[in-house]
Amino acid sequence: MVFSSLTFLFAFLPITLILYYLMPNNKARNVIILISGIVFYAWGEPLYVFAMLLSTAIDYFAGLMIAKYDDKPKVRTACLIVSLLMNLGLLGTFKYLGFLINSANAWFGWSIPNPNLPLPIGISFFTFQSMSYTIDLYRRNIKVQKNPVSFIGFVSLFPQLVAGPIVRYEDIQNEIDNRTLTEKQVGDGICRFITGLGKKVLIANNIGALWTSIKTMAEFDYSTLSVVTAWLGILAFTFQIFFDFSGYSDMAIGLGKMMGFNFPENFDYPYMSHSISEFWRRWHMTLGAWFKSYIYIPLGGNRKGLARTIFNLMVVWTVTGIWHGASWNFMLWGAYFGVLIVLERLFLGKLLEKLPSFFSWLYTFVLVVFGWVMFEAIDPTTVNIGEMFSQVFTYIGAMFGANGVFMDNFATSAIMNYGIIFAVCILGSSDLIKMFVNFVKEKAPKWVQYGAPLVQLCIMLAAVAYIATSTYNPFLYFNF
């Protein structure tokens, strides 16, 4: 089912916020959060909302048992294992079962029927979020939440339910039952929401249309792409996925502020990074923090020698690839970044520090773009590893002239039609706008500062107009 989230959101959000603000206290507001989260998810997944509720119920009762038997380590461990197995079982069944069956059938000539289960929206997000609660409770980092309404409300917080950021219970435990709403916080939330909406609708959707056109035209056969077309296509996706995902994160953080929550940041201008390690400290920060807390550090982190550190890094990056999707290209993508980070840990990082800033940035950006080729330009249904590598090398080869054509008519037309939006993408993925806004706040006359709400209003009206007239509105990370 197509999840027309923004269309529904504009009808759903005002009613939800009005009811929320009318409630006399946080206890009543948590009921609104619970109901709104279930309704929001059920709009896109009327059946699989029960999978989300099942995951939530498992962790709620596991948490109660872990707290009750605090002095019985074996019982606590058993409860944690049940929570992990049930959540990972749900994730594995819905997300990876079909992929494993298809791979086994192709490799071994079997004919196991594939149930072709539709993927519940955002299942990787809400299962990780819910699991973090039982793990942290087991570690005694947090206190048990005995109120089922408050706990279900935590998991089903609709602003970030289906595409992050991943909010751990530890992040907002003090705000679940004891939060305050101020005019400034609500105002900041509205501005952040509008900023995210503009990034998603006005930038990501428009630049993404170019990549969709090229991918549809090529049908995963990139042997005829010109150099310029190949670069324009993958750069379009490079900017699309950033503005799509960071835009949604901004919207979620903004809505959280409007409801009294302070969600963690998820992006910090990643395309300005000067190493792959730095890039991953700036991109999808909540996922990186999750893997660091619950996989990398428990495995020993960097405390058990170089060989073990390399092993731990490769485990984390293999899991990172698997988390993103049930396809071999995601595993290749995760392993690719794992190898690069290991090389930077071994020797490359020190070399990058000695390079002029521009060259270390160029190294990082180009390798990230190559990563997006693996992420997006491969047919996700292929189970033939050789074919997968062939598609990667064919696309990268086209980027460097292997097809013998530098520019074609499509590239010329694309530059004319998308030149301005590319310029906006370059500007918007840097911190120049942030620096300008800070300058205006500190130095500009008051009458200039008063123009900020007008700018926000224009962005909002333009976004609404786009949503009303366009049918192209993908949310890339809803699939993860």
Confidence of residue 457 (pLDDT cuts 50, 70, 90): confident
Residue (of 178, 170, 125, 126) closest to 144 by Cα position: 170
Q: How many CA atoms within 13 Å lie on the side-chain side of 369?
A: 18
Question: What share of residues in the chain are helix, strand, coil (percent, to 5)?
Answer: 75, 0, 25
What secondary structure letter does DSSP report for 222?
A: -
Note the helical H segments in 293-430: 306-324, 328-343, 349-354, 357-376, 385-399, 409-428
pLDDT tens digits, residue range 352-411? 999 999 999 999 999 999 999 999 888 877 767 888 888 899 999 999 988 888 999 999
Residue 424 has pLDDT above 90, yes or no: yes
Six token digits for residue 104: 């086994």
- pLDDT value, residue 311: 95
For 148, list phi and psi in degrees, rounded to 5: -65, -35
- Taking all residues of the chain, what is their mean pLDDT, rounded to a whole number? 87
List the single range of 104-118, 141-155, 218-232, 235-249 with lowest mean pLDDT: 104-118
Confidence of residue 3 (pLDDT cuts 50, 70, 90): very low
- pLDDT value, residue 249: 92
Q: What is the mean pLDDT of residues 222-226?
A: 89
pLDDT tens digits, residue range 261-319? 999 999 999 999 999 999 999 999 999 999 999 999 999 988 888 999 999 999 999 99
Residue 417 has pLDDT above 80, yes or no: yes
- pLDDT value, residue 111: 84
Residue 6 has pLDDT above 60, yes or no: no
Cα–Cα distance for residue pair 321/371, rounded to 1 Å: 11
Confidence of residue 118 (pLDDT cuts 50, 70, 90): confident
pLDDT tens digits, residue range 179-190? 888 888 998 999
Confidence of residue 447 (pLDDT cuts 50, 70, 90): low
User: Could you give the residue numbers annotated as active site?
Assistant: 324
Residue 415 has pLDDT above 60, yes or no: yes
Question: What is the crossing angle of helices 328-343 and 357-376, to 10°?
Answer: 160
Residue 7 has pLDDT above 70, yes or no: no
pLDDT tens digits, residue range 121-161? 778 888 888 889 999 999 999 999 999 999 988 888 877 77
Residue 5 has pLDDT above 70, yes or no: no
CA dihedral 274, 207, 394, 379 (to 10 degrees): 110
Residue 466 has pLDDT above 60, yes or no: yes
Sorted by where each begins, the domain ranges of the chain are 5-179, 185-479
Residue 4 has pLDDT above 50, yes or no: no
Confidence of residue 221 (pLDDT cuts 50, 70, 90): confident
- pLDDT value, residue 336: 95
- pLDDT value, residue 1: 37
Q: What is the mean pLDDT of residues 447-474?
A: 75
Q: What is the mean pLDDT of residues 441-450?
A: 69
- The share of the chain scoring above pLDDT 90, in percent, equals 49
Q: What is the mean pLDDT of residues 440-468?
A: 76
List the single range of 67-81, 151-165, 240-254, 272-286 with lowest mean pLDDT: 151-165
Long-range pairs for 323-327: beta carbons < 8 A, 24 or more residues apart: 323/124, 323/287, 323/480, 324/375, 324/480, 325/95, 325/380, 325/479, 325/480, 326/95, 326/96, 326/98, 326/99, 326/100, 327/99, 327/378, 327/380, 327/381
Q: What is the mean pLDDT of residues 67-87?
A: 92
Cα–Cα distance for residue pair 40/48, rounded to 1 Å: 12
- pLDDT value, residue 8: 59
The number of residues making up the chain comes to 480
Q: What is the mean pLDDT of residues 231-243?
A: 96
Q: What is the mean pLDDT of residues 163-172?
A: 85
Residue 116 has pLDDT above 70, yes or no: yes
